[in-house]
Amino acid sequence: MPARCIISFSGHKNVRATHKTTIEITTDESLSVRGDCIVGVSSAMGCLGLPHKIRDALQNDSSMAHIMFNVQGNVFAVRGRGSSRLTLMDSHDIVLRKSDFACPRTLIIGCSAASIDMPRRMVQSLREGADGIMEMTVYAQGEMDI
């Protein structure tokens, strides 16, 4: 059975969402303009706070993840994969990566999109301080072909 988790976050006036390889949400309350991959602040958790069922599923080389960002009715869906190399030990940040790089902040690798791909209407809402949710579903091998 797939593992599911919903994480709330808030927008910020400095959201740019122009990074070409990553998407990030953070528990930090502030954001500088240099954080061009960050799409949300004040998130409910970082990687370390994820439920054990999600963490266990993501730390499997055959797992696949489907993630939907929802901001004021605008939806942005991405998919990626888990890895046995993911430690999920960062308490502040969650990073989705197009590459195979893994560090304590990495949630998924091989992500199908980056922050620059996020609809600009959604980015504008986030710049105006809109709240959002990141809904994650993690599938074991054979549960879903995404």
Residues in the chain, pLDDT under 70: 142, 144-146
What's the pLDDT score for residue 141? 76
What's the pLDDT score for residue 14? 98
What's the pLDDT score for residue 17? 98
Q: Which two tokens stand for residue 4?
A: 């599911």
In the chain the domains, ranked by start, together with CATH numbers, are: 3-139 (2.60.120.630)
Angstrom distance (rounded) from CA 72 to CA 75? 8
Name the nearest CA neighbour of 103 among 113, 112, 92.
92
